[in-house]
């Protein structure tokens, strides 16, 4: 081998390894307080999943204090004051979508509080156009205060997950294809009850991180008091996900071509009520009536974000 050839194969090998191991990123956005108003747009649309919700515009949300920003708080909530008529629109709430789109990137959400209350269906997720062909990643999602959190991918046909893989959570279903799973997707339930709902809130929340690479998608959750890497909690300018330990949920690319199943994604933060999922697991207990008649039950139905950092 000539010196040059040796150097070429060494570089090639080094690049292969850095593709597998090295996962170092630089911060490109740091969003807190009123930055959320610039980074996200309000979507006053009707709920595609049939929730008892009425998504309002930015001006309506601000004037009713359904969103509120201070230096290090961004609060997003539903109305908790109005008695609703069963024939009228659902409870006022907010759905925001990021103006930027992301492909391979890391997103870290520092969340102090998430919506809780019967019938609530909050979500922090990312999604591409022409659903499900560009994929969907549910980072934080659940219903009716039921802990733990479940992280889920939704795709078109041809994306499955190995039943055994390196994660601390428990796989629920391994076929991500929405058509074969009645839209359930491939989910992973997190090991910690502090990952969702009242337990998340009483502990002061925590950090959720999504790493999307073509070799795999990972989500970590660290509760407020539980072993978060200092580069995560401090919002460091550069991070290296190789040092973060086993993820809570891991979706490798072995039987799923992530580069083609997941297109450019927007981040969406929404809070709906009942609907296809929350309504069906709420049983026969009259979920819409509960949402209509009990505004006071939704005083804790709010997100409080300390910040959102993006790394690419």
Which residues are annotated as catalytic? Answer: 136, 141
Point out which residues pair with 124 in neighbouring strands.
140, 269
Q: How many residues of this chain interact with ligand NAG, rule: CB under 6 A? A: 19
Residue 26 sits in the site that holds ligand NAG (CB under 6 A): no
CA distances from 206 to 23, 234, 235 (A): 22, 13, 13
Residue 63 in 3-state DSSP? helix
- For residues 281 and 150, give the distance between their C-alpha atoms in angstroms, rounded to a whole number: 15
Range 89-108, binding ligand NAG (CB under 6 A): 95
Report the residue count for the chain: 312
Smallest distance, ligand NAG to C-beta of residue 246, A: 14
Candidate residues 65, 133, 166, 289; the one interacting with ligand NAG per rule CB under 6 A: 65
Residue 125 sits in the site that holds ligand NAG (CB under 6 A): yes
The half-sphere exposure of 69 on its side-chain side, counting CA atoms within 13 A, is: 13
Closer residue to ligand NAG (CB): 140 or 310: 140
Range 212-241, binding ligand NAG (CB under 6 A): 240
Q: Check if the beta carbon of residue 25 is closer than 8 Å to that of residue 241.
A: yes
Candidate residues 243, 246, 289, 293; the one interacting with ligand NAG per rule CB under 6 A: 243
* Contact window for ligand NAG (CB under 6 A) among 8-16, 20-28, 204-212, 244-252: 20-28
Residue 49 sits in the site that holds ligand NAG (CB under 6 A): yes
Site string for ligand NAG, 179-218 (x = CB under 6 A): ----------------------------------------
Instruction: Enumerate residues 6+ apart whose C-beta is below 8 A from 269.
Output: 40, 76, 94, 95, 96, 123, 124, 303
Pairing mode, strands 302-311 and 266-273: unpaired
Candidate residues 61, 123, 210, 301; the one interacting with ligand NAG per rule CB under 6 A: 123
- For residues 43 and 64, give the distance between their C-alpha atoms in angstroms, rounded to a whole number: 16
Q: Is 103 exposed, middle or buried (0-12, 13-18, 19+ CB in 10 A)?
A: middle
Residues that bind ligand NAG (CB under 6 A): 21-22, 24, 47-49, 65, 68, 75, 95, 123, 125, 138, 141, 240, 242-243, 270, 272
């Amino acid at each position: 081998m000539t010196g040059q050839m040796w150097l070429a194969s060494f570089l090639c090998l080094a690049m292969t390894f850095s593709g597998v191991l090295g996962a170092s990123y630089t911060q490109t956005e740091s969003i807190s307080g009123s930055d959320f108003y610039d980074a996200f747009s309000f979507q006053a649309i009707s709920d595609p999943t049939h929730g008892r919700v009425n998504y309002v515009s930015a001006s309506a949300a601000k004037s009713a204090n359904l969103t509120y920003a201070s230096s290090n708080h961004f609060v997003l909530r539903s109305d908790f004051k109005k008695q609703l008529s069963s024939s009228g629109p659902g409870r006022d709430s907010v759905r925001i979508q990021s103006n930027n789109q992301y492909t391979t990137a890391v997103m870290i959400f520092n969340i102090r509080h998430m919506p809780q209350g019967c019938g609530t269906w909050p979500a922090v997720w990312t999604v591409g156009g022409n659903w499900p062909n560009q994929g969907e990643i549910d980072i934080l999602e659940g219903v009716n205060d039921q802990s733990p959190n479940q992280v889920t991918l939704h795709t078109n046909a041809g994306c499955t997950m190995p039943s055994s893989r390196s994660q601390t959570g428990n796989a629920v279903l391994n076929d991500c294809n929405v058509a074969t799973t009645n839209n359930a997707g491939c989910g992973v339930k997190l090991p910690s009850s502090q990952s969702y709902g009242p337990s998340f809130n009483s502990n002061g929340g925590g950090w959720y991180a999504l790493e999307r690479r073509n070799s795999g998608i990972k989500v970590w959750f660290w509760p407020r008091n539980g072993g978060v890497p200092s580069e995560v909690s401090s919002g460091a300018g550069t991070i290296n996900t190789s040092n973060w330990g086993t993820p809570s949920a891991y979706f490798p690319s072995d039987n799923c071509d992530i580069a083609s199943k997941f297109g450019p994604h927007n981040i969406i933060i929404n809070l709906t009520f009942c609907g296809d999922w929350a309504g069906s697991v709420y049983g026969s207990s009259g979920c819409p009536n509960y949402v209509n008649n009990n505004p006071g039950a939704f005083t804790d139905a709010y997100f409080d974000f300390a910040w959102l950092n993006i790394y690419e």
